[in-house]
Amino acid sequence: MEKQQKTIMINTDIEKCYKTICDFETYPQWQDTIKNISVLERDTKNRPIIVEYDVKILVKKLNYTLRYEYDEEKHTLTWGYVGGDLKNIEGSYVFAKVNDQTTSATCNFEIELGLWVPKKIMNTLKNVSLVDSMNALKKRAENLQ
């Protein structure tokens, strides 16, 4: 698996950024590729820990399930693959306070589709989906009241 990473600056406070990324039920509203999510399990704090996704990437529909771990103190959300149409996916979002109204957001992820895709197309797909996802996060967090 090849690791992808992207960092962007979001013009809002760190708490709003972290709250946005942890609000899985709203993902289909602001992430174009995510068509539906189902929270399958919650932890004792009522946070989603097992989440199933239905996504559409290009012309391909995929279904997969991820397990999440939260570190609220470090403003980090990590995930690992549980099952579905992919071979593997894992990653994290890490938020860092720049100042009261600016947050650095870094997404790291590795993905294996489980089907053969030419390397050039796979790299383009990874990069475009990562950039689109991060831009959608930025827009959503900055527009929340």
Closest alpha carbon to 75 in 132, 19, 133 = 19
Domains and CATH numbers, the chain: 3-143 (3.30.530.20)
Closest alpha carbon to 13 in 105, 88, 119 = 105
Predicted model pTM: 0.89
pLDDT in tens, the chain (145 residues): 567 899 999 999 999 999 999 999 999 999 988 999 999 999 999 999 999 999 987 677 889 999 999 999 999 999 999 999 888 899 999 999 999 999 999 999 888 877 665 566 566 666 667 888 999 999 999 998 6
Closest alpha carbon to 62 in 126, 23, 114, 120 = 114
Those residues whose C-beta lies under 8 Å from the C-beta of residue 69, and which sit 6 or more positions away, are 49, 77, 78, 79
Number of H helices, E strands in the chain: 3, 7
